[in-house]
């Protein structure tokens, strides 16, 4: 296979045939380089990690499940180092091309998987979503992508980053295929009695966007209201929960930035517990921005972790209450279109903070969230997100397929 996009790891054109029959027969998929493929080293986006690991003895369970359903593995894709970035840039292996927004980053850390799907090299691809690594590349590359309910899909054979947030997700160019893969992985179909009936709009999430980005998503929000009825406009974090011990007295941020703080502290401690000893001993060569974050996670105190954990409980209770009664929560998948590849590191760091303000809610709550490639701005994709209650993954996928099918018909009727 010719990799015209730089989406696959060096030597990553390995293939595995799927079963002779199955619902996914005829479809090819790529695998992010955090998933085990039998006989190959799982590289985690870093040569120093890869050189110290042995080939996997078995496929990751989710990979085997897709093979058993007839799908074919077509290569292993680039990830940001240790899956700890949202940019999609890897200083060792390069930046996979964003065919839908040339000259702009693909988003990470499932960068190669998003690039391969958007560029038509594969039909769908596995990635992971801890802090937005499906939703962000999906938005930037114009793809459908699902971050599922936490622990709904088995992660055996998948390298961890932050255990209480890690999920296995996937991309597709079409809502129906995203849904079909979901039916295989969840081993079932949507329950008609649980289909969404209520729409919530997170005002503080849309406030994170500039006016032009809001304008790009507004028509699709209006169509959601036509489908589900007038929305309830809510504030996700009305109590301004944040980790106050990170800041001098009186300077803790409010709003969704506060949720991002809670997320970062818990995630950071889990990362350090998983990899701190190895990082300290091996001292691998890592991109400066990722190294800076790893240096920071080593400083997280027990007090900060306790405060963040307590406030997570409070937020999860609120989110579960909001999403009861078959509600869907609408929020942007990203604060805008993909930044340019040549943007300065400081610009990308600021953008990352805005991203985490939008993506942290689903992670903290363990809820499924889908990104829909509905908006465009300056010729670039901009995703709209829908979050459902825990366990509502199949209903969310079915709704997305139905709703986006109607959107396509309306678009075609205009020509």
The catalytic residues are 32, 109, 133
Please give the Cα distance from 153 to 150 (Å, whole number).
8
Query: Omega before 144 cis (within 30°)?
Result: no
Closest CA to 141 of 173, 167, 168: 173
143 within 8 A of 171, measured Cβ to Cβ: yes
Give the residues across from 77 on adjacent strands: 8, 32
Both tokens of 134, joined, read 């499906």
Burial 336-373 (b: 16+ CB within 10 A, else e): bbbbebeeeeeebeebbebbbbbbbbbbbbbbbbbbbb
- Between helix 302-322 and helix 255-282 the angle, nearest 10°, is 130
3-state secondary structure of 126: strand
Indicate the pairing of strand 72-77 with strand 232-234: unpaired
Please give the Cα distance from 252 to 308 (Å, whole number).
13
Q: Which residue has the tokens 């709003």?
A: 255
Rounded to 5°, angle at Cα 91 from 148 and 62: 25
Burial of 152 (0-12, 13-18, 19+ CB in 10 A): middle
Both tokens of 165, joined, read 């947030």
Please give the Cα distance from 301 to 308 (Å, whole number).
11
Other CB atoms within 10 Å distance of the CB of residue 162: 22
H/E segment holding residue 327 = strand 327-332
Other CB atoms within 10 Å distance of the CB of residue 411: 9
């Amino acid at each position: 296979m010719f990799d015209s996009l730089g989406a696959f790891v060096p030597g990553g054109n390995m293939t595995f045939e799927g079963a002779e029959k199955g619902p996914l027969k005829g479809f090819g998929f790529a695998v992010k380089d955090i998933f085990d493929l039998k006989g190959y080293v799982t590289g985690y986006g870093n040569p120093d990690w890869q050189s110290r690991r042995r080939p996997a003895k078995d496929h990751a369970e989710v990979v085997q499940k897709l093979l058993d359903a007839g799908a074919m593995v077509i290569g292993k894709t680039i990830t940001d180092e240790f899956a700890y970035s949202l940019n999609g840039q890897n200083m060792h292996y390069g930046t996979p091309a964003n065919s839908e927004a040339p000259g702009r980053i693909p988003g990470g850390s499932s960068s190669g998987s998003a690039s391969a799907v958007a560029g038509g090299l594969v039909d769908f691809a596995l990635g992971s979503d801890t802090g937005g690594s499906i939703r962000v590349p999906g938005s930037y590359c114009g793809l459908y992508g699902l971050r599922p309910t936490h622990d709904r899909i088995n992660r055996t054979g998948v390298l961890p980053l932050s255990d209480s947030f890690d999920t296995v997700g996937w991309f597709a160019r079409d809502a129906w295929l995203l849904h079909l893969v979901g039916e295989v992985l969840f081993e079932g179909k949507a329950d008609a009695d649980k289909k969404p009936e209520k729409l919530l709009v997170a005002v503080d999430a849309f406030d994170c966007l500039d006016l032009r980005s809001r304008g790009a998503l507004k028509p699709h929000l209006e169509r959601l209201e036509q489908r589900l009825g007038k929305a309830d406009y809510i504030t996700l974090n009305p109590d301004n929960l944040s980790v106050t011990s990170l800041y001098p007295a009186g300077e803790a941020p409010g709003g969704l930035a506060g949720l991002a703080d809670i997320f970062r502290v818990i995630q950071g401690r889990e990362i350090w517990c998983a990899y701190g000893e190895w990082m300290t001993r091996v001292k691998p060569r890592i991109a400066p921005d990722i190294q800076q974050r790893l240096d920071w996670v080593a400083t997280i105190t027990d007090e900060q972790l306790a405060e963040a954990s307590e406030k997570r409980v409070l937020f999860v209770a609120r989110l579960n209450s909001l999403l009861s009664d078959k509600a869907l929560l609408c929020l942007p998948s990203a604060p805008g279109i993909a930044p340019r590849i040549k943007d300065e590191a400081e610009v990308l760091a600021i953008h990352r903070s805005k991203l985490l303000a939008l993506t942290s809610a689903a992670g903290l709550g363990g809820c499924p969230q889908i990104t829909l490639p509905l908006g465009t701005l300056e010729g670039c994709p901009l995703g709209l997100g829908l979050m459902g209650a825990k366990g509502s993954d199949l209903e969310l996928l079915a709704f997305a397929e139905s709703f986006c099918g109607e959107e396509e018909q309306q678009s075609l009727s205009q020509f």
